[in-house]
Amino acid sequence: MSPVIECADLCVDFGATRILHDVSLRLHHGQALAMVGESGSGKSMTTKAILQILPKGAKTSGFVRFEGREVLAMRPAELRAYRGSDVSIIFQDPKAHINPVRTIGEFLTETLRDGGARRAEARRRAAAALGDVGLAAPEEKLDQYPHEFSGGMLQRVMIASVVLAQPKVILADEPTTALDVTTQAEVMSILKDLRERTGMAMLLITHDLELATATCDTISVMNSGRILETQSEAAFEANPSHPYSRQLAAARPSVDRRADRLPTVTWRFGDEATEGAEA
Ligand SMILES: Nc1ncnc2c1ncn2[C@@H]1O[C@H](COP(=O)(O)OP(=O)(O)OP(=O)(O)O)[C@@H](O)[C@H]1O
């Protein structure tokens, strides 16, 4: 089966400084791939290169392919469609990515309205998406502003925007780092359920090996802008092959099997939303 996203020999340079060195990865439909590494190892640069949202001055070489199409050769309109409906991204800090002076409803319905949906229909779908991610009283929430939401609630809003976009791939860049451990487990549970319902692939960026092995089926370890190894989660657990990966694994607080490691969350899509679930 051909991958939905493939990077080959991907390099990113800022002037004479190389940030990514020949990064190669393959993400298949339905797969959950974790890219694990310490701060500054190049994880976020990889996702930004995949989406072509790199900071000014960055020069990309190599290949990024989405379903066989060359992303680096896409024209602006094609790139907009790729970012808008093929691949979605959620970040560590949703506050930084939601306009504070626009309502949650305006944020969620913008793309639907641009696609031709009437206002009432767009609001109905946005409210349904908020309900899907466990937010109570979704119609009322459409008229609220981001500052009225907690970090966990805003991350659910971001995931609701993914529900509406129905992409083939979600890039989740440290999506739970800013959240408490229970909310972290709830957000990961929502993402898992979304993936199971839609077959969406996920690239999870994290410094947390524990979270990576508990939620993903494939593990890539990154250091200094290079991928050191990629293995299935089970093979990685049994035998991390690179010395750096072995250090990472040894530094983990727990060696229990994955089912025991995250707080148990029994949340499923469409569950009745409760205020208690809105941390
Ligand atoms: N605008 C920029 N110009 C030049 N170098 C940059 C720029 N932004 C980031 N870098 C460098 O790129 C490297 C990789 O950064 P990146 O943000 O991808 O790391 P990361 O693994 O995602 O870490 P973190 O989890 O802290 O974000 C770092 O050495 C960083 O200093």
Task: Summarize pLDDT for 20-64 with one digit per residue, the tens.
Answer: 999 999 999 999 999 999 999 999 999 999 999 999 999 999 999
Nearest to 95 by CA among 144, 151, 141: 151
Cα(108)–Cα(101) distance, rounded to whole angstroms?
A: 14
Complex prediction ipTM: 0.94
Quick one: CA torsion of 186, 154, 48, 261, rounded to 10 degrees?
-20
Residue whose CA is at the smallest distance from ligand 1 atom 14: 42
- Centre of ligand 1 to C-alpha 10, Å, is 15
147 in Cβ contact with 136 (< 8 Å) = no
- Centre of ligand 1 to C-alpha 60, Å, is 14
Residue 203: how many other CB atoms lie within 10 Å: 26
Residue type, 126: A
Mean pLDDT of 235-249: 92
This prediction's pTM = 0.88
Ligand 1 atom nearest to CA at 173: 22
Task: Summarize pLDDT for 129-147 with one digit per residue, the tens.
Answer: 999 898 999 999 999 999 9
Cα(215)–Cα(191) distance, rounded to whole angstroms?
A: 10
In this prediction, residue 279 has a pLDDT band, given cuts at 50, 70 and 90, of very low
Task: Summarize pLDDT for 218-235 with one digit per residue, the tens.
Answer: 999 999 999 999 999 999
Residue whose CA is at the smallest distance from ligand 1 atom 7: 55
Residues of the chain above pLDDT 90, percent:
71
Mean pLDDT of 207-211: 92
Phi, psi angle pair for 72, to nearest 5°? -70, -15
Residues with CB under 6 A from ligand 1: 14, 19, 37, 39-45, 55, 207
> Looking at the predicted structure, is the pLDDT value of residue 269 above 80?
no
- Centre of ligand 1 to C-alpha 39, Å, is 8
> Looking at the predicted structure, is the pLDDT value of residue 216 above 90?
yes
Cα radius of gyration rounded to whole Å, the chain:
19
- Centre of ligand 1 to C-alpha 43, Å, is 8
Nearest to 166 by CA among 211, 199, 215, 203: 199
203 in Cβ contact with 27 (< 8 Å) = yes
* CA 20 vs CA 145, 237, 240, 264, 272: distances in Å: 38, 26, 22, 37, 44
